Amino acid sequence: MGDQSRYQKMYPVSWEQLQRDCRALSWRLMEKGPWKGIVAITRGGLVPAAIIARELDIRLIDTICLASYDWKNQGTATVLKTVDNDGEGWLLIDDLVDTGKTAQIARDMVPKAHFATVYAKPAGRPMVETFITEVSQDTWILFPWDAGTQFVQPIIQTSG
Protein backbone atom coordinates (compact mmCIF):
# COMPACT_ATOMS: atom_id res chain seq x y z
CA MET A 1 0.00 0.00 0.00
CA GLY A 2 0.96 3.64 -0.40
CA ASP A 3 2.80 5.78 2.09
CA GLN A 4 0.49 8.23 3.88
CA SER A 5 3.50 10.30 4.97
CA ARG A 6 3.99 11.46 1.39
CA TYR A 7 1.08 13.89 1.91
CA GLN A 8 2.28 16.98 3.73
CA LYS A 9 -0.52 19.35 2.72
CA MET A 10 -4.29 19.18 2.47
CA TYR A 11 -6.23 20.89 -0.33
CA PRO A 12 -9.95 20.83 0.57
CA VAL A 13 -12.33 21.25 -2.35
CA SER A 14 -15.91 22.40 -1.68
CA TRP A 15 -18.88 21.40 -3.81
CA GLU A 16 -19.02 24.99 -5.12
CA GLN A 17 -15.35 25.00 -6.07
CA LEU A 18 -15.67 21.61 -7.77
CA GLN A 19 -18.65 22.92 -9.77
CA ARG A 20 -16.68 26.02 -10.86
CA ASP A 21 -13.60 23.98 -11.76
CA CYS A 22 -15.64 21.44 -13.76
CA ARG A 23 -17.37 24.27 -15.62
CA ALA A 24 -13.96 25.81 -16.40
CA LEU A 25 -12.82 22.41 -17.68
CA SER A 26 -15.98 22.23 -19.80
CA TRP A 27 -15.14 25.57 -21.44
CA ARG A 28 -11.72 24.23 -22.43
CA LEU A 29 -13.13 20.94 -23.68
CA MET A 30 -15.90 22.63 -25.69
CA GLU A 31 -13.24 24.23 -27.90
CA LYS A 32 -11.71 20.81 -28.63
CA GLY A 33 -14.98 18.96 -29.43
CA PRO A 34 -17.47 17.88 -30.58
CA TRP A 35 -17.49 14.71 -28.50
CA LYS A 36 -19.30 11.41 -29.03
CA GLY A 37 -19.49 10.71 -25.32
CA ILE A 38 -17.72 10.51 -22.00
CA VAL A 39 -15.89 7.63 -20.35
CA ALA A 40 -15.74 8.36 -16.62
CA ILE A 41 -13.13 6.67 -14.44
CA THR A 42 -14.89 5.47 -11.32
CA ARG A 43 -15.42 6.51 -8.74
CA GLY A 44 -13.72 9.90 -8.65
CA GLY A 45 -14.53 10.78 -12.24
CA LEU A 46 -18.29 10.27 -11.88
CA VAL A 47 -19.18 13.68 -10.43
CA PRO A 48 -16.94 15.68 -12.81
CA ALA A 49 -18.27 13.60 -15.73
CA ALA A 50 -21.86 14.40 -14.76
CA ILE A 51 -21.14 18.13 -14.59
CA ILE A 52 -19.20 18.13 -17.87
CA ALA A 53 -21.91 16.04 -19.57
CA ARG A 54 -24.48 18.63 -18.55
CA GLU A 55 -22.38 21.59 -19.66
CA LEU A 56 -21.51 20.05 -23.05
CA ASP A 57 -24.93 18.40 -23.54
CA ILE A 58 -23.41 14.94 -23.79
CA ARG A 59 -25.89 12.12 -23.19
CA LEU A 60 -23.73 9.07 -23.89
CA ILE A 61 -21.72 8.16 -20.79
CA ASP A 62 -19.79 4.98 -20.04
CA THR A 63 -17.43 3.99 -17.25
CA ILE A 64 -14.09 2.39 -16.70
CA CYS A 65 -14.11 0.96 -13.21
CA LEU A 66 -10.75 0.88 -11.44
CA ALA A 67 -9.89 0.55 -7.77
CA SER A 68 -6.52 1.80 -6.55
CA TYR A 69 -7.11 3.87 -3.41
CA ASP A 70 -8.17 2.94 0.10
CA TRP A 71 -8.45 6.33 1.79
CA LYS A 72 -4.91 7.77 1.48
CA ASN A 73 -3.25 4.48 0.59
CA GLN A 74 -2.61 3.93 -3.08
CA GLY A 75 -2.12 0.32 -4.02
CA THR A 76 -2.13 -1.74 -7.18
CA ALA A 77 -5.00 -0.82 -9.49
CA THR A 78 -7.62 -3.46 -10.06
CA VAL A 79 -9.67 -3.35 -13.27
CA LEU A 80 -13.33 -3.98 -12.49
CA LYS A 81 -14.89 -2.91 -15.82
CA THR A 82 -13.65 -1.71 -19.19
CA VAL A 83 -15.30 -0.31 -22.35
CA ASP A 84 -15.78 -1.63 -25.88
CA ASN A 85 -14.24 1.20 -27.91
CA ASP A 86 -10.81 2.74 -28.46
CA GLY A 87 -11.94 6.20 -27.33
CA GLU A 88 -11.91 7.91 -30.73
CA GLY A 89 -13.97 11.10 -30.32
CA TRP A 90 -14.58 10.44 -26.61
CA LEU A 91 -13.61 12.27 -23.44
CA LEU A 92 -11.91 10.28 -20.68
CA ILE A 93 -12.71 12.08 -17.40
CA ASP A 94 -11.33 11.70 -13.88
CA ASP A 95 -11.23 13.93 -10.83
CA LEU A 96 -7.44 13.98 -10.63
CA VAL A 97 -4.26 12.43 -11.89
CA ASP A 98 -1.81 11.70 -9.08
CA THR A 99 1.09 9.36 -9.85
CA GLY A 100 -0.25 8.46 -13.29
CA LYS A 101 -0.41 4.71 -12.60
CA THR A 102 -4.21 4.45 -12.72
CA ALA A 103 -4.28 6.97 -15.56
CA GLN A 104 -1.96 4.77 -17.62
CA ILE A 105 -4.29 1.79 -17.23
CA ALA A 106 -7.28 3.89 -18.32
CA ARG A 107 -5.34 5.44 -21.20
CA ASP A 108 -4.34 1.96 -22.42
CA MET A 109 -8.03 0.97 -22.50
CA VAL A 110 -9.11 3.96 -24.60
CA PRO A 111 -5.89 5.20 -26.25
CA LYS A 112 -7.64 7.57 -28.67
CA ALA A 113 -9.75 9.37 -26.04
CA HIS A 114 -8.99 12.93 -24.97
CA PHE A 115 -7.97 12.59 -21.31
CA ALA A 116 -9.07 15.43 -19.02
CA THR A 117 -8.95 15.79 -15.25
CA VAL A 118 -10.02 18.58 -12.96
CA TYR A 119 -6.83 18.43 -10.87
CA ALA A 120 -3.32 17.23 -11.70
CA LYS A 121 -0.13 16.52 -9.79
CA PRO A 122 3.31 16.79 -11.42
CA ALA A 123 4.00 13.03 -11.64
CA GLY A 124 0.74 12.31 -13.47
CA ARG A 125 0.36 15.55 -15.41
CA PRO A 126 1.97 14.23 -18.64
CA MET A 127 -0.81 11.62 -18.85
CA VAL A 128 -3.61 14.17 -19.44
CA GLU A 129 -4.24 16.58 -22.28
CA THR A 130 -6.44 19.02 -20.36
CA PHE A 131 -6.75 19.92 -16.67
CA ILE A 132 -7.66 22.98 -14.59
CA THR A 133 -5.58 23.10 -11.40
CA GLU A 134 -2.16 21.67 -10.58
CA VAL A 135 -1.23 20.94 -6.97
CA SER A 136 2.07 19.72 -5.54
CA GLN A 137 2.77 16.00 -5.36
CA ASP A 138 2.74 16.06 -1.54
CA THR A 139 -0.81 17.45 -1.38
CA TRP A 140 -3.87 15.36 -0.55
CA ILE A 141 -6.93 16.69 -2.37
CA LEU A 142 -9.90 16.35 -0.06
CA PHE A 143 -12.98 16.06 -2.25
CA PRO A 144 -16.39 17.09 -0.91
CA TRP A 145 -17.74 13.52 -1.09
CA ASP A 146 -14.96 12.47 1.32
CA ALA A 147 -15.40 15.31 3.81
CA GLY A 148 -17.71 16.50 6.54
CA THR A 149 -18.13 19.88 8.15
CA GLN A 150 -16.18 20.31 11.38
CA PHE A 151 -13.90 22.72 13.22
CA VAL A 152 -10.38 22.98 11.82
CA GLN A 153 -7.37 24.27 13.77
CA PRO A 154 -5.68 27.41 12.36
CA ILE A 155 -2.65 26.56 10.22
CA ILE A 156 -0.25 28.23 12.67
CA GLN A 157 -1.35 25.80 15.40
CA THR A 158 -0.90 22.72 13.23
CA SER A 159 2.53 23.45 11.77
CA GLY A 160 5.51 21.88 13.46
Active site residues per annotation:
94-95, 98
What is the sign, positive or negative, of the torsion defined by CA atoms of 101, 99, 142, 119? Answer: negative
57 exposure class (CB count in 10 Å sphere: 0-12, 13-18, 19+): exposed
